[in-house]
Amino acid sequence: MKILLLGYGKMGKIIGQIAESRGHLLAGKINLDNLTDLDKINPAEVDVVIEFSQPESAVANITWAIERGIPVVSGTTGWLEHRPQIEKLTQEKNGAFFYASNYSIGVNIFFKVNEFLAKLINETSSYEVAIEEIHHTEKKDAPSGTAITLAEGIIQNLKGKTDWHLTGQVDANEHSIPITAKRIDPAPGTHIITYSSEIDTLEISHTAHSRQGFALGAVLVAEWIKNKKGVLSMNDFLSF
């Protein structure tokens, strides 16, 4: 399979290494330093795009691929206010667009545990929920896309919670889930969900030890997406 990498930072490099180790060819490695090289890419020589760039580049990168009929696997966070237009374009072009805030299999299991726990907490009103996420200092967006996905999972399953807020930026209210974002090197990613009451504290967490799990997940999805159509997610890939 021929993979075009749009975004070749730390994650892109690891994705490229894993892809090559699994027998795939890299059709190109595009970042801000060689962006003009994208015009030289022959779409017929690309089977799938893996897009891990920056929030300001994601929409243009994804649009480029979808308009040329190339399936896209995207993991860039911080741009999702434009997601509806990308999904609309995917449908119009009968393309394939796969997005996940986190490609780690372990994290996606954690998402489901988070949702199930929120449902259980509905049986009592004595707990207050909070989220903490810790990433390396080079991560530009806060809170992380993973933390937002966790918050959305809670909101969908826990009565009385309707939104989330980043601590220190807005005043809290009883309907909003506080998310604390910390940037500490060399942390690749830790997410902690805490339910606290006067009686006890209940906590679940996921800690990544490296970026390898994220990168491998993206390559596995790229292998899977061939001949697929539509707007897809990890729920489709993992059959949750």
DSSP 230: E
**Which among 24, 135, 191, 206 is annotated as catalytic?**
135
**Which among 136, 139, 228, 229 is annotated as catalytic?**
139
Identify whether 139 is a catalytic site residue.
Answer: yes
Q: Which residue has the tokens 């006890």?
A: 200
Here the tokens at position 133 are: 């996420």
Per the omega criterion (within 30 degrees of 0), is the bond before 143 cis? Answer: yes
Identify whether 135 is a catalytic site residue.
Answer: yes
For residue 184, give the nearest of 132, 137, 146, 133 by alpha carbon: 137
Q: Which residue has the tokens 């040329």?
A: 68
Here the tokens at position 181 are: 């974002």
Contacts of 16 (CB under 8 A, 6+ apart): 3, 5, 8, 26, 29
CA–CA separation, 129 and 13 (whole Å) = 36
Residues carrying an active site annotation: 135, 139
